[in-house]
Amino acid sequence: MALQQTEFLRRALWHVVSGVCLFFSLGAPALRAAPLTPQESCGRKIYFQGIDCAGKEIKGSIGDLEVSARLQPCASCHGADGKGRPESGQDPGDITWRYLTVPYGHTHANGRKHPGFTPWLFQRAVTSGRDPAGGKLSTLMPRFRMSPASAAQLVAYLKRISTDTGPGVEPTRIVLGSMAPLQGVNAETGNAVRAVLTAYFDDLNQLGGIYGRRIVLRLAATGVGSAMALKSARRLMATPVFALVAPFVPGTEKGLAALARASNVPLVGLLALSVPDDPANREVFYLLPGFEQLEQELMRFAAVEGELVPGKTAVILADDQLQVDVSAAMQGTWQELGIRRPGEFSFSAADGARIAGDLKSRGIDTVFFIGGGEQVLQWIQAADGVEWAPRTFVLGPLLDGGIFTAPARFQGRIFAAYPQLQPELGGVDEFEDFLKRHKLASDHRLIQISAYCAAKVLEDALTRAGRNLTREKLILSLEQFRDFKTGMLPGITFGPNRRIGSTKAEIVCVDLASHSFQPECGKPQRPD
Amino acid sequence: MFLHRAGRRVGRSCIHQIPENAQMLLCRAKLAAVVAGILLCFAASMVEATGQTAKVPHRSDVRTNRRATLSADPARAQIPDIDVLDQNGNRRHFYRDLVRGKVVAMNFIYTTCTTICPPLGATFGKLQKTLGERTGKDVFLISVSVDPATDTPERLRAWGAQFGAKPGWTLVTGEKTELNRLLRALGVEAASPESHSPMVLIVNDKAALWKRVYGLGSTAALTQNIEQMMAVAPAGASEKRP
């Protein structure tokens, strides 16, 4: 009996000790990660953006050089964690408050020694470049003109910097956001996206989440119209969320991307048909190519055949918005291919026969048609009306079943580009099993796969970014992706200048005989 | 004493298989080249000595590339004429288009560098303002990327715009191995972008003079150094005088 009691006490003690250890190793720092106070938030602005709480730029000088803290805020040299980013022999040093105030003082590599800092001594160092012993700081350290109030705010933030994980990251959870329409013509697709994302993160949470943190997915409806969608996005971002995953906002993609940039909210796997290749927008990561890249792939495909003669090629523009999106990308590709930019012609259904007759008389044999599925069909019928069947290259995602009603003259003459999927055996099984387990229909397969893969990419990026999570770390970890396998898409690769994970396109031929898309049904064939 | 040592070194290096009179001529030619080099170093060091940032002139700090003594176009031999892309995406020949016949000041940067590059950029921005209309006419500024894999022309344009880059300040990137060749030739090759040099290289191509200055020092001193380089007469100018 006594032995049993001793064993019981020993085990109880073990659990208590384990619990305390766990508290201090995980819980304690996490518990300190409370939201920033207003003073700390102001300090954060100074530290990262070089502006004070009123939004006023802080200025300073390096020698006789006037510098702006906007261009060189504290974080640029001391890093997001305050521990310093040595570069070219310059060591900006650790300025976390715990380190600055060590009671035994500091001895620098150049022999300079001084006691620890106090708030007043810190303010003096920042404004006049003197350490606590009166010694000169590095000439590279700007002497900032900063008010005592701003200096106090900066100190307040430096005390918190090591536990400042950024908005949406809490001790036990990471809050992510997504958006999809709940009403209108896209409601069904929107619901499919929501269901996939919810199921994916439920699975992840059951496996323990990421570094012990559960994923909380906040879903917002897009509402009607772009203005409403953006309002909803602003509200969602302010809740706050750490990042957005696979938002589906038809017609508001560009607005949402701009908002993500302005709000510094990473956006992974925006489901969009137009995908601007814009590394300047650091926050937005796309998985698949959009119209711009598909059109470029069509041009390269046609050029490989060696039959792309400028005098015999025309670009027909039937949609103003698409023209804006695609034209600039095409211009770059003409240059890349070393081909003089061919003539561009506007198309309207009413004027179709005249345009077709005109182009036929010019000897055009290749047409890049930028327009929707209905317009493609109108164009083809107009060309058929003048007994002419030029090779016609179109954007696949805009086609509908009507394309198979094209006149027989166009057999083997219509080519369409789609984002390439690359399902692997294991990946397909995994996805099918996922749908089955969560009783999800697969009526919107392409967009379900896109949302599923976006969640997968984000999960991996969050894991790579580590437990001490910040948005900047997430972006940097995404930039490290090289040929990441999702099991359903081609390898995903991002980089400092690359925001589209896969640019691969599948070029298919419209087979009017079998009413299907075929890899080849006439010249030009897809190159090996 | 130094000349004597230099003479002996030259003497030892002469090849004894060559007939004696030919050896003598060769040795004299070499000795003359060494003396000319020393004199030119001295002349160049006088320029250097007037600068505030580098008080002690050193042979490696000033390279003499006198056309008359080395080759028909020695500067070109020193600075590889590699293909580069400027901030507007235009293809340029580094030496022919950006350096030949000009006074240029070059710094070495990369756009994701956050510690020393912003001051380097701000220094060039101020330099451009100080030199005013002379920038792009009498003196040209060049920023060479040390991280060409990341630095696209668009990135360079955005980076330069932060510091008010105007015509006369060209920012260049290019193919990594080619740029490495250029950086090696200019003496600023580094193992990684993070360890690149904060140096500004001032070249007076007509006078065939190079000068290295600390790029994070005072802008006034840098301006003074550039003005001194601009004031140096082109190589061979004295020979042309009657």
Q: Mean of the pLDDT values across residues A197-210?
A: 97
E-strand stretches of A390-433: 391-395, 414-419
Give me the pLDDT at residue A110, please.
84
C-alpha dihedral sign at A382, A388, A394, A396: positive
In sequence order, the 6+-apart residues with CB closer than 8 A to the CB of A520 are A509, A526
Chain A: residue whose CA lies nearest to B216:
A140
Give me the pLDDT at residue A433, please.
95
Give me the pLDDT at residue B179, please.
95
Spell out which residues of chain B touch residue A76, defining contact as CB-CB under 8 Å.
114-115, 118
Coil, strand or helix: which one is B206? Answer: coil
Coil, strand or helix: which one is B14? Answer: coil
Q: Which residue has the higher pLDDT, B71 or A74?
A: A74
In sequence order, the 6+-apart residues with CB closer than 8 A to the CB of B232 are B47, B204, B207, B209
Cβ–Cβ of B118/A139 closer than 8 Å? no
Spell out which residues of chain B touch residue A140, defining contact as CB-CB under 8 Å.
115-116, 119, 216
Q: Mean of the pLDDT values across residues A143-151?
A: 95
By Cβ distance, the residue of B119, B196, B198 closest to A62 is B119
Which of A42-46, A490-494, B52-56, B202-206 is least confident? B52-56
By Cβ distance, the residue of A67, A77, A497 closest to B122 is A67
Give me the pLDDT at residue A328, please.
82
| Rounded distance between C-alpha atoms, residue A461 and residue A20, angstroms | 31
Distance from the Cα of A333 to chain B's closest Cα (Å) equals 14
| Rounded distance between C-alpha atoms, residue B60 and residue B37, angstroms | 12
Could you tell me the pLDDT band of residue A89, with boundaries at 50, 70 and 90?
Answer: confident
Cβ–Cβ of B219/A76 closer than 8 Å? no
Spell out which residues of chain B touch residue A280, defining contact as CB-CB under 8 Å.
154, 158
Cβ–Cβ of A62/B150 closer than 8 Å? no
End-to-end CA distance of chain A: 80
CB A314 within 8 A of CB A342: yes
Q: Which residue has the higher pLDDT, A401 or A526?
A: A401
Looking at the complex, does the CB of residue A87 fall below 8 Å from at least one CB of chain B?
yes
| Rounded distance between C-alpha atoms, residue B178 and residue B83, angstroms | 8
Looking at the complex, does the CB of residue A306 fall below 8 Å from at least one CB of chain B?
no
Looking at the complex, does the CB of residue B224 fall below 8 Å from at least one CB of chain A?
no
Looking at the complex, does the CB of residue A198 fall below 8 Å from at least one CB of chain B?
no
Spell out which residues of chain A touch residue B158, defining contact as CB-CB under 8 Å.
280
Spell out which residues of chain B touch residue A65, defining contact as CB-CB under 8 Å.
119, 122-123, 126, 219
Q: Would you say residue A19 has pLDDT above 70?
A: no
Coil, strand or helix: which one is A400? Answer: coil
Give me the pLDDT at residue A357, please.
94
| Rounded distance between C-alpha atoms, residue A46 and residue A378, angstroms | 58
Spell out which residues of chain B touch residue A63, defining contact as CB-CB under 8 Å.
217-219
Looking at the complex, does the CB of residue A141 fall below 8 Å from at least one CB of chain B?
no
Give me the pLDDT at residue A15, please.
54
Substitution target from B115, B124, B154, B192 for chain A, most A beta carbons within 10 A:
B115
Give me the pLDDT at residue B4, please.
35
Distance from the Cα of A154 to chain B's closest Cα (Å) equals 19
Substitution target from A65, A83, A277 for chain B, most B beta carbons within 10 A:
A65
Chain B: residue whose CA lies nearest to A89:
B195
Coil, strand or helix: which one is B142? Answer: strand
In sequence order, the 6+-apart residues with CB closer than 8 A to the CB of A324 are none
Distance from the Cα of A61 to chain B's closest Cα (Å) equals 10
Cβ–Cβ of A87/B150 closer than 8 Å? no
Q: Which residue has the higher pLDDT, A339 or A437?
A: A437
Mean pLDDT, chain A, rounded, equals 88
Cβ–Cβ of B113/A87 closer than 8 Å? yes
Spell out which residues of chain A touch residue B116, defining contact as CB-CB under 8 Å.
87-88, 90, 140
CB proximity under 8 Å: B 130-159 to A: 150, 152, 154-155, 158
Cβ–Cβ of A88/B115 closer than 8 Å? yes
Distance from the Cα of A68 to chain B's closest Cα (Å) equals 9
Q: Would you say residue A22 has pLDDT above 90?
A: no
Distance from the Cα of B186 to chain A's closest Cα (Å) equals 17
- Could you tell me which of A302, A290, A281 has the C-alpha nearest to residue A504? A290
Distance from the Cα of A69 to chain B's closest Cα (Å) equals 10
Distance from the Cα of B85 to chain A's closest Cα (Å) equals 15
Looking at the complex, does the CB of residue A338 fall below 8 Å from at least one CB of chain B?
no
Spell out which residues of chain B touch residue A81, defining contact as CB-CB under 8 Å.
none
Give me the pLDDT at residue A166, please.
78
Cβ–Cβ of A62/B122 closer than 8 Å? yes
pLDDT digits (tens, 9 = 90+) for A279-328: 778 999 999 999 999 999 999 998 886 678 878 899 999 877 788 888 88
Q: What are phi and psi of B157, to 5 degrees?
A: -60, -45
Q: Mean of the pLDDT values across residues A326-351?
A: 88
Coil, strand or helix: which one is A180? Answer: strand
Element (H, E) at A113: strand A113-114
Give how far the C-alpha of residue A22 lies from the chain's centroid of Cα atoms, to the nearest Å. 35
Q: Would you say residue A521 has pLDDT above 50?
A: yes
Q: Would you say residue A148 has pLDDT above 50?
A: yes
Distance from the Cα of B128 to chain A's closest Cα (Å) equals 13
By Cβ distance, the residue of A72, A89, A496 closest to B150 is A496
In sequence order, the 6+-apart residues with CB closer than 8 A to the CB of A12 are none
By Cβ distance, the residue of B115, B150, B219 closest to A85 is B115
Looking at the complex, does the CB of residue A55 fall below 8 Å from at least one CB of chain B?
no
Tokens of B60: 């490696």
Q: Mean of the pLDDT values across residues A500-504?
A: 93
User: Mean pLDDT per 10-residue run, chain B (242 residues)?
Assistant: 33 36 46 43 37 33 36 56 96 96 96 91 94 94 96 95 95 95 92 89 92 90 93 58 32
DSSP string across A307-326:
---GGGEEEEE--HHHHHHH
Coil, strand or helix: which one is A300? Answer: helix
In sequence order, the 6+-apart residues with CB closer than 8 A to the CB of A48 are A73, A74, A75, A80
End-to-end CA distance of chain B: 35
CB B36 within 8 A of CB B44: no
Give me the pLDDT at residue A139, please.
86
Distance from the Cα of B20 to chain A's closest Cα (Å) equals 53
Q: Mean of the pLDDT values across residues A334-344?
A: 88
| Rounded distance between C-alpha atoms, residue B59 and residue B54, angstroms | 12
Give me the pLDDT at residue A201, please.
97
β-strand partners of A90: A87
- Give the number of A-B residue pairs with CB atoms closer than 8 Å: 69
Looking at the complex, does the CB of residue B194 fall below 8 Å from at least one CB of chain A?
yes
Spell out which residues of chain A touch residue B154, defining contact as CB-CB under 8 Å.
279-280
Chain B: residue whose CA lies nearest to A75:
B114
By Cβ distance, the residue of B113, B126, B162 closest to A71 is B162
Looking at the complex, does the CB of residue B118 fall below 8 Å from at least one CB of chain A?
yes
Tokens of B207: 């006078």
Could you tell me the pLDDT band of residue A456, with boundaries at 50, 70 and 90?
Answer: very high
Q: Would you say residue A526 has pLDDT above 50?
A: no
